[in-house]
A = this chain, B = another copy of it.
């Protein structure tokens, strides 16, 4: 069932890409379709290194240069979205058939989690932006994740009990 959905999705996406390539008079090379297909074969975020390595393992290896070229096209036609959370590498994510979601980024460990918001982007706000044609938006919420919070609390407890001991000793 899900399998079938994904095949359908891939077809739709391929068509959209073809339309884009035609309209802009770009060539329809096998590399470009292979990359698109590969990106739409997995969910979640990826970076160029991920993509390069995982494609190398398939029968279709493409150069890094082509990867960068093609991702540029995919960004331009809106099939892929680019993120730059604090780290040095850019992260990418497929955009078609991908529900809009925010990103929770932990400032401590750097982990990025998706968070499906309700309908954050209220139509009334779109009105105010008449003079700006919105393609998409990204919401990044920075903070401390539960795991790091717990670790931090532990740490503080330790420090406090240590401080108490010291002041206790001093009093003596």
Give the interface residue-count category, chain A. 20 to 34
Contact flags A76-87 to B (C-beta < 8 A → 1, else 0): 000000101110
Contact A134 B129, CB 8 Å, known A82-B86, A84-B84, A86-B82: no
Stretch among A45-53, A59-67, A138-146, A160-168 lining the B interface: A138-146
In the assembly, how many copies of this chain are there? 2
Partner of A125, one of B117, B140, B146: B117
* A133 CB-CB contact with B under 8 Å: yes
Inside 8 A of A138's CB, which chain B residues have their CB? 139-140, 142
The CA of A137 and the CA of B115, in the complex, are separated in Å by 13
Pairs A–B under 8 Å by Cβ, sample size 26 = A82-B86, A84-B84, A104-B129, A104-B132, A115-B129, A117-B125, A118-B125, A129-B141, A131-B145, A131-B146, A131-B149, A132-B143, A132-B144, A132-B146, A133-B143, A133-B149, A134-B142, A135-B142, A135-B143, A135-B144, A136-B143, A137-B140, A138-B140, A139-B139, A139-B140, A140-B140
